[in-house]
Amino acid sequence: DVAEMTYLQWLQRYVELAIGDGDSTADTKAEGSPWLDITWRDRFAAMLQRAEARLNPADVGPIQTRFDAESADGERLLE
Task: Give the model confidence (pLDDT) of 7-66 as tens digits.
Answer: 999 998 888 888 766 555 555 555 667 777 778 888 888 898 889 888 999 888 888 887
Residue 19 is predicted with a pLDDT of 78
How confident is the model at residue 4, as a pLDDT?
93
Whole-number pLDDT of residue 16: 83
pTM of this prediction? Answer: 0.70
Give 7-74 as a 3 state SS string: HHHHHHHHHHHHHCCCCCCCCCCCCCCCCCCHHHHHHHHHHHHHHHHHHCCCCCCCCCCCCCCCCHHH
Range of the domain at 23: 2-78
Query: Element (H or E) spanning 78, and its range?
Result: helix 72-78
Number of domains in the chain: 1
Residue 41 neighbours by CB under 8 Å, 6+ apart: 18, 30, 33, 35, 78, 79
* Per-residue pLDDT at 69 exceeds 70: no
